[in-house]
Amino acid sequence: MKSSLPGCKLISVRIDSRILSLLSLNHYIPQHLAKRSMRALFGGRPPMNDPDIAFRAELKAHILASVDKVEPVDGLRDDEPWFGPESRLDLDSLDALQISMAIQKKYRVRMPDSKDTRRAMVSLLTLAEYLRSHQPA
């Protein structure tokens, strides 16, 4: 693709079904690095829009309230694990049950299969994706 700016090329990268574009300055950013940077920046996923961000913020607040925990001072990343040795929240199986019940009550989504529940509750991001794909119409 061509750009109207001299010395620049417009680079498009397909991520999922969306096409993202980036200007590559020929002298500063080689095309292959620009493409790699786009994929790294968005982690192979399209950028989130405002409703997704708002939904995750609401979900995070709801989850923390349901297990009576406070968000760490330096924040909680969307992809940060909730359970296990890397978790700063120190959640256990009783917390997982409380989260599952709170989700069922608020979002009307049941998690009957324990394997699906464990996969969905890895992090805020995985739970938000699970809820989006399983919410009743």
Structure confidence by residue, pLDDT tens digits, 7-47: 555 555 444 444 444 444 444 445 555 455 545 555 555 45
pLDDT score, position 20: 43
In the DSSP assignment, the letter for residue 99 is H
Give the residue range(s) of CATH 1.10.1200.10 domains in the chain. Answer: 50-134
For 85, the 3-state DSSP assignment is: coil
pLDDT at 53 over 90: no
pLDDT grade for 80, boundaries at 50, 70 and 90? very high
pTM reported for the whole predicted model: 0.61
Q: Please compute Rg for the chain using Cα positions.
A: 19
pLDDT score, position 107: 92
Residue 45: Cβ within 10 Å count: 12
Q: What is the mean pLDDT of residues 74-86?
A: 90
pLDDT score, position 17: 42
50-134: CATH topology: 1.10.1200
Q: What is the mean pLDDT of residues 103-116?
A: 88
pLDDT score, position 18: 44
